[in-house]
Amino acid sequence: MFTRSRCRAWGAASFAAVLGIAAQFPAQAAAPAAPAGLATCVACHGTQGQGSAAGVPRLAGQNAQYLENALAMFKTGKRSNPVMQPIAAGLDDAAMHALATYFAGLQGVALAPAAPPPADLVRAGEELARVGAVSDPTPPCFSCHGADSRAANPHFPAIEGQPAAFTVDRLHEFQARARAKAPDPATMTAVAARLNETQIRQVAAYLSTLKPAP
Ligand code: HEC
Ligand code: HEC
């Protein structure tokens, strides 16, 4: 049957051949089977797991363990979110594992494009991400998260190519945690606690303009 996914696979094959990387194609062609429950997820996260500019995160290519852990945290309420908590409550461990593995395996899918953010915001955000801030010292985001290759930092979630609204929400959530309980040093909560509102807008704008690292 000539399905939509075969059309996409063919598109990827010809693109890879043009780039002279056809040898890598077999790994991409082995599209993972759709796990049960996928239809619910893609209604918000997109058919390719690309997320949406409205603030739904990209799941495609994200660290599998991070996604699975996030679902478990929504289920126990350790990570609070009114949308995801009831959805995760309906998933057992096997379903979480299957869905996390599936989305993590969708490589190279970029966030659906939105209106480009102001250039000065993006420039300032890039500096914070790559160099950090001297005042109220903040380490560069990419010192932990990596930027150019996911393989370099497999234990940290990918933060590039996420909708700005999602990054802003997450940083606010880490800040709320820091207010509730003094964070351990060198954790994301401690980093977020140092950021002011302007820096949050800047870094969120910059990260939203990036393509997912391979
Ligand atoms: C009604 C819309 C909606 C549906 C349906 C939905 N999600 Fe989400 N999802 C969201 C939003 C919004 C967030 C961001 C929550 C936050 O900021 O913590 C999110 C966050 C997540 C995260 C955390 C990602 C990260 O990088 O921190 C995971 C994992 C996730 N969803 C998986 C799923 C799976 C698997 C399904 C299907 C079983 C699903 N979602 C269905 C809207 C949705
Ligand atoms: C010391 C290492 C470290 C630094 C530096 C760091 N992070 Fe993090 N970040 C983490 C860890 C670890 C997590 C996962 C924590 C969790 O989920 O509880 C995380 C999670 C995140 C998340 C949530 C991702 C998701 O998909 O849910 C965002 C957004 C984020 N970081 C943004 C940033 C930004 C922006 C900066 C720079 C201002 C930064 N981080 C600097 C370690 C770091």
Domains with residue ranges and CATH for the chain: 36-46+57-104 (1.10.760.10), 119-208 (1.10.760.10)
Sign of CA dihedral 24, 5, 66, 191: positive
Q: Do 210 and 161 form a contact (C-beta atoms < 8 A)? A: yes
214: exposed, middle or buried (Cβ count in 10 Å: 0-12, 13-18, 19+): exposed
Which DSSP symbol is given to 56? B
> Residue whose CA is closest, atom 37 of ligand 2?
141
User: Residues 107-133: what's their mean pLDDT?
Assistant: 90
Q: Do 58 and 111 form a contact (C-beta atoms < 8 A)? A: yes
Ligand 1 atom having least distance to the Cα of 90: 38
Q: Phi-psi bin for 186: left (phi > 0), alpha (psi -120 to 50), beta? A: left
129-187 confidence digits (pLDDT tens): 999 998 888 999 999 998 877 766 777 899 999 999 999 999 999 999 999 999 999 89
C-alpha 104 to ligand 1 mean position (Å): 13
Percentage of residues in the chain having pLDDT higher than 70:
83
Cα angle 65, 69, 73; round to 5: 170
Does the predicted model carry a pTM greater than 0.85?
Answer: yes
Sign of CA dihedral 121, 125, 128, 131: negative
Q: Is the CB of 104 under 6 A from ligand 1?
A: no
Q: Is the CB of 127 under 6 A from ligand 1?
A: no
Which residue type sits at 49?
G
